[in-house]
Structure 1
Amino acid sequence: MIDLRFSREVEAARQEGRPLVALESTIITHGMPWPRNFETARQVEATIREAGATPATIAILDGILHVGLEPDQMERLARADGVRKVSRADLALCLAEGATGATTVAATMIAARHAGIEVFATGGIGGVHRGAERTWDVSADLQELAQTPVTVVAAGPKAILDLPRTLEVLETLGVPVIAFAQDELPAFWSRRSGLRAPQRLDDPALIARAHRLRAALGLPGGQLVANPIPEADEIPAETLAPLIEQAQAEAERAGIAAKEVTPFLLSRLLELTGGRSLEANIALVLNNARLAARIARSLAEMA
């Protein structure tokens, strides 16, 4: 049996049938330094509450899967060193060993499904890495979207990825990719990617209805809702492109591969943008949290 623990706030929302939004915990442990990580995590939760839903930050503490963190638990996680970054492949191992782990997109989706949470807000999803024709480096997030019935609200795939190939894989896997209120796929820190989104919806209630209809049709998997970063906070794609190329070249020269690629690239881009990428990241996560709460409210109204 999975030892699944709900925070007091999440348990009350479950009992009362109030809308819930899942949140990952790698943004706390691997995304930014103390105390900015703790402050941002609390801000994201507060944003979801203000939008009429209940936040459920997911993490593993001492082998127990927590859905919703008490303030002291979140602070403990934010201050901790050596926390595992847990995905589908090592989620069960982390639980079995009684370890502490932060959940990635894939692991958060799995935990959300077990907890009965239908909507998850994150920053950006993983995907097909540049050079994947040589390295076969493809994120587990894509397979999870094809298998696990959770609607994921993100600012699109991370801009460091091969976006055309990521879209192709999502199409092959049958994952709906829905741009919110624009025709173009957003690219994380940038509103524009140069790629037309497969689908567009402007109403959170329609996104919620599509989620429920997938289940009614017996279709596996979830939906990816690509929510563009607010215009005032974006870093234009033409500004980022040469910086991403530089960071990618540095990673290849250093022999950085597998799970270490994304953290290296994000860290290097933080330096190359003079901190702008971090501020944009926070802005887009908050924006995604608001939209996820609206979708969760629509789902709760359908119940």
Structure 2
Amino acid sequence: MLDVRRMQVLRAVVTSGSVTAAAAHLGYTPSAVSQQVAALEKEAGVELLERFGRGVRPTAAGRLLTEHAALIGRQVAEAEAALADLRAGRTGRIVLRYFATAGADLVAPTLARFRAGHPDVRVELRLVDQADAASPDGEEPDVTLAVLPRDAPAPAPGSRLVHLRDDPYRAVLPKGHPLAARRTVDLADLAAEPWVGSERPGPCLDAVLGACAAAGFTPGFAVECEEYATAQGFVAAGLGISLIPLMGLGSRHPDVVVRRTRGPEPVRTIQAVVRESSYALPAVRALLTALQEV
């Protein structure tokens, strides 16, 4: 295999026309330059230089390797420039996994803000199911949005959690419900109601059940649908009440009312799971900042 460093020494000799001039340019001794060229000739199995007057000139093989050395030099310079841009956060590629209800309220405005300051950084979006958002699946995203408790450990080795926002649940009631006249509903007042389940098993449902347990009851689910828009439809039809996170209420059914809850207020915590190697990149940290600001 040809030694790239020795090819660059050969290029310096050919460019300057003499071993002595190349040595002065490279900061080597003439003897060291001659040794590097001799070693390269041994690797190539052919002479690369021939004497010409008081200097040297390349053989056909020497010209060939000199041309490739120049090409390699340009590629290395381009790689160094690209690496500098990546380290500075000017370019790069970020893979972001997100779940559906984070799309409109969180991801979309974040990308608009981020691209304004980082137009040459490509963000690839991958939609995943909330229940699987923090689970490894063979892919290696840089950032994954997930619902995880504030005190949760990082879900995978080599990752960290960055808190983004708390997403409170709202009581969704059919119009005409006795509690609809209140601005805020005590969670305990919903204990005897039939419930429309809007969450599948996982951290979101855990947040709802944990708040209900703190209020002294376990909700009785009359209908389970695991989808926010459908849950609103069941509530509007009078089949029960529901708790839906604020980020899941972007499109509201005309026949329901939405009220704050208390005693306690159920909250799901949105966190970013970030690969440690990615967190070192300025562009990734800038994206996390944009997520927190939004």
Query: What is the TM-score of this pair, normalised by structure 2?
Result: 0.28
Q: Which has the higher strand share?
A: 2
Task: Tell which structure's C-alpha radius of gyration is larger.
Answer: 2
- TM-score, with length taken from structure 1: 0.28
Q: Structure 1 or 2: larger helix share?
A: 1
